Structure 1
Amino acid sequence: MNRIYLDHAATTPLAPEVLEEMTAIWLGPGGNPSSVHSFGRTAKQRVGRARDRMAQLLGCASAELVYTSGGTESDNMGIFGAAWAQRRKGKDHIVTTAIEHHAVLHAIERLEEQGFRVTRLEPDRSGAVAAEQVAAAMDEQTALVSVMYVNNETGTVQPIEAIGAAARARGIPLHTDAVQALGRLPLRLHELPVDLASFSAHKINGPQGVGALYVAKGTALVPQLLGGPQERNRRAGTENVAGICGFARALELVESGRETKRQTVRELRHRFLELLTEELGAAGCIVNGGSPELVPDIVNLSFPGLSAESMLMNLDIEGVAASGGSACSSGALSRSHVLLAMGLGELATSAVRFSFGMGNTIEDIAHAAQKIATVAKRLRNMV
């Protein structure tokens, strides 16, 4: 069976060049970057060079990057660290949106349990929030604003520059979950009014289990992991040397081919939607998140009258890997909090996310579209 992977927003295949760089480190000799002997110094130099390479590509200072275990830790570290630092100044209000990744939503729920006030903004039907909404929600006690850059379910791009400008004018730190923006949008961090930004390697054909948090110079942050003095006393724990070097290599690769990939993915998206519309009609598959400000490689579709769970199970049998957008719980899919916040109601029940990336071809897309249409028609005949 020709299996087709269309779930790159969940995780991406490891690039061969990344594996090669990491394998050279794994083969040894090993070394702890905190050790003073030659093995430790070599490991420390590798981490330092990787940090310099990433900082140059991201347009920030090396000292502003903190390595973590992934996007979830980066989100948690940025939100808890900044909020607790601001509470020392008497501020206790958080502004965020209802469409954040659960790593942000649940972290902010924990802050709410600890006495913080929270304002959650609703998006429009395209999945976007307006900078004016965010600005209007701020008050004198606002400790932090957290708004994601690119939504992981719809691909909608939020107006981070305008939001950041509004926050900066009030002296309020802005955190952005930029996990899905990395490699898809040009990021020059020193040119953005952003104080904290979260990243993850496995979304850009890098390894799972490593991420980074950008902490702009001068941003107050309370450490979340305590122990050794690693990462300039901001994040204790022995560094994942191979993972960090793999992350840097993945970022180099994705940045060097970003515009070419974007054009290729646009073509894949156009052909994918064209074929599905031909087979199912405009009412048979509805695109969720209609804003022109979106990344082309994430496509969220609803198949009215069908359940997302049935679609995904049958697509898997047919060899097409996709996602419901929301995390699975006890073997069942819950309706997407993102689509519900967008006001899509019952459309959220039948929503499936397809996301394109390395290895996908126009032939794959045509084959997948045919399989999706066949499954949808079969399921409709059974209703």
Structure 2
Amino acid sequence: MVVYLDMAATTPTDRRVAELVLEYMTREFGNAGSRTHAYGADALAAVNAARAQIARTIKADASDVLFTSGATEADNLAILGLAEAGRQANRRHLVSTSIEHKAVLEPLQHLAATGFEVTLVSPDKHGRVSPSDVLAAVRPDTLLVSIMHANNETGVVQPIEAVADALHGECPYLHVDAAQTFGRLNRALSHPRIDLISLSGHKIYAPKGIGALIMKRRSGRRAPIAPLMFGGGQERGLRPGTLPVPLIVGLGLAAELAEKEREQRLRKCVAIRMAALEALAPLSPHVHGEEDFGVLPHILSVSIPGVDSEAAMVATKDIVAISNGSACTSASYQPSHVLEAMRVPADVTAGTVRISWSHETQTLPWGLFASRLNDLRF
């Protein structure tokens, strides 16, 4: 049986979550917008309960939770939704990093084409962005700083708390793409200076197609996001459309379980990482990211000298399912923009694979996996 080791791309839905989702698909199927009967009232109550479940995990208010289809939509709403406020205030400068997900980089590129100026801060060779470099890029006309909490390819954790600590005043607004860290590193996301947080359900064992933009108040006000779509007035007029109640309740439960079980999940993922590194050690691997500065324990970005990533995936496809980068760009066969930003040599980039697991990952064929990779070196 092939062991699925691409959890950074997507996770299976937790059985407990799936059971709840199915109940709301087949029995509690009311429309949360229907307020004239009990079916609608029950659906609305379930949605509001899910908001509270999600908010509690990061010390936010339930009203701060705005449901989206996932982190990609949340990223677009956070960035593009601020554009009009930026134009009106003559704040047309945006700061981000060169290792962001395409869901952040491409909206920034779109704004750059419409008159905004974008500064992208590069990481060091370990994939970590310096908070001082981020702060040095901020100008009086900076509207937004957008920085991911942890990289989806390398797992390297970024210093969002240090950046948040140093930002003062109403602007710039601070947006954090927490697709890989929500449910894992929630303490940092509770920082009061963070204005906007994007998250996806399918990264924390909830279904695909649901996520949220957390819009926290600061000094009594939220970031002045304008809608990108219109019609219906749902989600405070910022995200129209019938609310997917089954997916929302699933995300709420998944968020609650992630916080409740965080420590035991962490211990299991750390143990798996140690076993993987031990098995690969004889092959002199190049591991992206430095453990001392923070790397997500369930993501291992690694290159074996003399082994091409495509060959590695083909040689091991009958035992493991792994990738060589972000799921959103894996079909393009282009060099990783993240590794390029880290100035990783081309041969190391060409050999890099991403292995990612979960707390529920069971039997792991690390010995056989390492043996297959070793065979490719000769």
- Interval of TM-score (by shorter of Structure 1 and Structure 2): over 0.9
Is 1:76 matched with 2:76?
A: yes
The 8 Å contact of residues 66 and 231 in structure 1, kept in 2 or not, is answered as yes
Deviation at 1:187, TM superposition (A): 3.2
Name the CA distance, whole Å, in 1 between partners of 2:140 and 2:110: 22
- Once the two structures are overlaid, the 10-residue window that deviates more, 163-172 or 256-265, is 163-172
The 8 Å contact of residues 68 and 212 in structure 1, kept in 2 or not, is answered as yes
Shift in CA distance, 327/10, structure 1 to aligned 2, threshold 3 Å: closer
The answer for the alignment partner of 2:115 in structure 1 is: 115
Shift in CA distance, 309/144, structure 1 to aligned 2, threshold 3 Å: same
Name the CA distance, whole Å, in 2 between partners of 1:301 and 1:189: 28
Name the CA distance, whole Å, in 2 between partners of 1:75 and 1:328: 14
The answer for the alignment partner of 1:302 in structure 2 is: 303
- Once the two structures are overlaid, the 10-residue window that deviates more, 190-199 or 59-68, is 190-199
The answer for the alignment partner of 2:345 in structure 1 is: 345
Shift in CA distance, 338/246, structure 1 to aligned 2, threshold 3 Å: same
Shift in CA distance, 273/236, structure 1 to aligned 2, threshold 3 Å: same
Shift in CA distance, 329/93, structure 1 to aligned 2, threshold 3 Å: closer
Partner residue of 1:253 out of 254, 257, 277? 257
- Once the two structures are overlaid, the 10-residue window that deviates more, 305-314 or 163-172, is 163-172
Is 1:17 matched with 2:16?
A: yes
Deviation at 1:260, TM superposition (A): 1.1
Number of positions where the alignment pairs a residue of Structure 1 with one of Structure 2: 371
Name the CA distance, whole Å, in 1 between partners of 2:22 and 2:299: 31
**Could you list the per-position Cα deviations for residues 94-119 of structure 1 after superposition, in whole angstroms to 9, with x for gaps in the alignment?**
10000001101111111111111011
Deviation at 1:170, TM superposition (A): 6.8
Name the CA distance, whole Å, in 1 between partners of 2:251 and 2:72: 16
- Once the two structures are overlaid, the 10-residue window that deviates more, 287-296 or 229-238, is 287-296
Is 1:266 matched with 2:270?
A: yes
CA-atom RMSD, angstroms?
Answer: 1.7
The 8 Å contact of residues 328 and 334 in structure 1, kept in 2 or not, is answered as no
Name the CA distance, whole Å, in 1 between partners of 2:328 and 2:188: 35
- The alignment partner of 1:96 has SS state of strand
Over the matched positions of the two proteins, sequence identity in percent amounts to 38
Give the aligned residue type for 2:373: A
- The alignment partner of 2:186 has SS state of coil
The 8 Å contact of residues 87 and 143 in structure 1, kept in 2 or not, is answered as no
Deviation at 1:331, TM superposition (A): 4.8
Shift in CA distance, 357/329, structure 1 to aligned 2, threshold 3 Å: closer
Give the aligned residue type for 2:281: T
Name the CA distance, whole Å, in 2 between partners of 1:60 and 1:170: 19
**Could you list the per-position Cα deviations for residues 206-264 of structure 1 after superposition, in whole angstroms to 9, with x for gaps in the alignment?**
10000000111222111112111111112111111000000011111111111111111
- The alignment partner of 1:86 has SS state of helix
Name the CA distance, whole Å, in 1 between partners of 2:249 and 2:326: 31
Is 1:360 matched with 2:361?
A: yes
Name the CA distance, whole Å, in 2 between partners of 1:181 and 1:130: 19
Structure 1: unaligned runs, 5 residues or longer:
none
**Could you list the per-position Cα deviations for residues 260-317 of structure 1 after superposition, in whole angstroms to 9, with x for gaps in the alignment?**
1111111111111001113x2x2xx21111252121111100122222122112221x
The answer for the alignment partner of 1:154 in structure 2 is: 154
Is 1:370 matched with 2:371?
A: no
Name the CA distance, whole Å, in 1 between partners of 2:76 and 2:122: 22
- The alignment partner of 1:306 has SS state of coil
Name the CA distance, whole Å, in 2 between partners of 1:350 and 1:289: 16
Name the CA distance, whole Å, in 2 between partners of 1:188 and 1:245: 24
Shift in CA distance, 328/242, structure 1 to aligned 2, threshold 3 Å: closer
- The alignment partner of 1:111 has SS state of helix
Deviation at 1:126, TM superposition (A): 1.2
- Once the two structures are overlaid, the 10-residue window that deviates more, 114-123 or 300-309, is 300-309
**Which residues in structure 2 correspond to 1:34-183 (within 5 Å)?**
34-38=33-37, 39-169=39-169, 171-183=171-183
- Once the two structures are overlaid, the 10-residue window that deviates more, 203-212 or 299-308, is 299-308
Partner residue of 1:277 out of 278, 281, 300? 281
Give the aligned residue type for 1:372: F
The 8 Å contact of residues 142 and 171 in structure 2, kept in 1 or not, is answered as no
Deviation at 1:43, TM superposition (A): 1.2
Name the CA distance, whole Å, in 2 between partners of 1:175 and 1:103: 13
Deviation at 1:333, TM superposition (A): 2.2
- The alignment partner of 1:51 has SS state of helix
The 8 Å contact of residues 298 and 355 in structure 1, kept in 2 or not, is answered as yes
Give the aligned residue type for 1:107: P
- The alignment partner of 1:168 has SS state of coil
Give the aligned residue type for 2:20: E
Name the CA distance, whole Å, in 1 between partners of 2:368 and 2:85: 52
Deviation at 1:189, TM superposition (A): 4.6
Shift in CA distance, 89/149, structure 1 to aligned 2, threshold 3 Å: same
- Once the two structures are overlaid, the 10-residue window that deviates more, 184-193 or 53-62, is 184-193
Give the aligned residue type for 2:304: F
- The alignment partner of 1:37 has SS state of coil
Name the CA distance, whole Å, in 2 between partners of 1:71 and 1:80: 14
Name the CA distance, whole Å, in 1 between partners of 2:48 and 2:330: 42
Give the aligned residue type for 1:243: L
Give the aligned residue type for 1:149: H
**Could you list the per-position Cα deviations for residues 129-162 of structure 1 after superposition, in whole angstroms to 9, with x for gaps in the alignment?**
1111011111111111100001111111111111
The 8 Å contact of residues 305 and 380 in structure 1, kept in 2 or not, is answered as yes
The answer for the alignment partner of 2:240 in structure 1 is: 236
Name the CA distance, whole Å, in 2 between partners of 1:269 and 1:374: 18
Question: Stretches of 4+ moved more than 6 A in 1?
Answer: none
Name the CA distance, whole Å, in 2 between partners of 1:84 and 1:311: 47
Structure 2: unaligned runs, 5 residues or longer:
none
The answer for the alignment partner of 2:205 in structure 1 is: 205
The 8 Å contact of residues 83 and 144 in structure 1, kept in 2 or not, is answered as no
The 8 Å contact of residues 65 and 213 in structure 2, kept in 1 or not, is answered as yes
Deviation at 1:165, TM superposition (A): 2.5
